[in-house]
Amino acid sequence: MSIEAAVRWTEILLAIALIQQSLESLSSIRQLRLLFVSRLALSVLLMVGVATQWVLLGLVGVSLILLKAFQGPYNGGSDRMGLLILYCLAAFHVLPASPFKELAFGYLALQVVLSYFVSGWVKIVNPDWRNGRALQDVFLFSAYPVSEDLRGFANRPKLLLSASWGVMLLELIFPFLLLSKSALLFGLVCTAFFHLMNACFWGLNRFVWVWIASYPSLIWFQDRFVLG
């Protein structure tokens, strides 16, 4: 995949994620409506591909105002990944020459790889993750399960032990999936399914759309630096 195609796909997928977030925010947050309407309009322009450089700079400006308004990201990790994609795309368009553009987009790909690998690493060094207790605790008392019935999974330790190891191994092998096209494709299907399950069980729907928006950078990165 060429860098131009990968960047365009990232812009479209990020725009979809931001449109979804903006519509949700407009329905639930009673202040800052003008900002969310602006972000919605800019996201539509980004999806269509009009004045992309200026649209991205506008979205960066809105993102900084929202960070100040909420004193941080509104939705933790998913917002952080959305901001990272946005800033890398803006840098790609603003930077003048090819090596710098590749650096900006390559940085995004590198961070996506790290997002899985580091998450796997910090889990596997924790004995509570290795024996399944951590995932039991998530279901038992954390704020994430979307219903009380789901807390019943805490009573299925064998299932949660298998799930814990499945998640840790998927996250840890993720960098090595870049060594083969088919392995990366299979890995991206698995990680998308992983985000989908997190959305169903823990209500983390924004992660699904924003992480998928980062996947074209990986496909380009693999073609350019690993297999190229």
List of residues contacting other proteins (CB under 8 A) = 20, 23-25, 27-30, 63-64, 67-68, 70-77, 79-81, 83-84, 87, 111, 114-115, 118-119, 122-123, 126, 128, 134, 137-138, 140-143, 145-149, 196, 199-200, 203-206, 208
Residues 6+ apart with CB under 8 A from 189: none
Residue 156: closest CA among 181, 178, 139: 139
In total, the chain counts a number of residues equal to 228
In the complex, the smallest distance separating the C-beta of residue 83 from other proteins, rounded to whole angstroms, is: 4
Q: Which is nearer to other proteins, 99 or 149 (CB)?
A: 149
Kindly give the interhelix angle for 33-48 and 52-70, rounded to the nearest 10 degrees.
150
Helix, coil or strand: residue 6: helix
Q: Which is nearer to other proteins, 8 or 80 (CB)?
A: 80
Identify the helix (H) or strand (E) that includes residue 12.
helix 3-28
Q: Which is nearer to other proteins, 38 or 119 (CB)?
A: 119
In the complex, the smallest distance separating the C-beta of residue 149 from other proteins, rounded to whole angstroms, is: 4
Query: Based on the number of CB atoms within 10 Å of its own CB, is 202 exposed (0-12), middle (13-18) or buried (19 or more)?
Result: middle
Q: Which is nearer to other proteins, 84 or 94 (CB)?
A: 84
d(CA 137, CA 68): 33
d(CA 10, CA 45): 14
In the complex, the smallest distance separating the C-beta of residue 116 from other proteins, rounded to whole angstroms, is: 8
In the complex, the smallest distance separating the C-beta of residue 20 from other proteins, rounded to whole angstroms, is: 7
In the complex, the smallest distance separating the C-beta of residue 40 from other proteins, rounded to whole angstroms, is: 14
Q: Which is nearer to other proteins, 73 or 223 (CB)?
A: 73
Q: Which is nearer to other proteins, 70 or 176 (CB)?
A: 70
d(CA 131, CA 109): 31
In the complex, the smallest distance separating the C-beta of residue 68 from other proteins, rounded to whole angstroms, is: 5
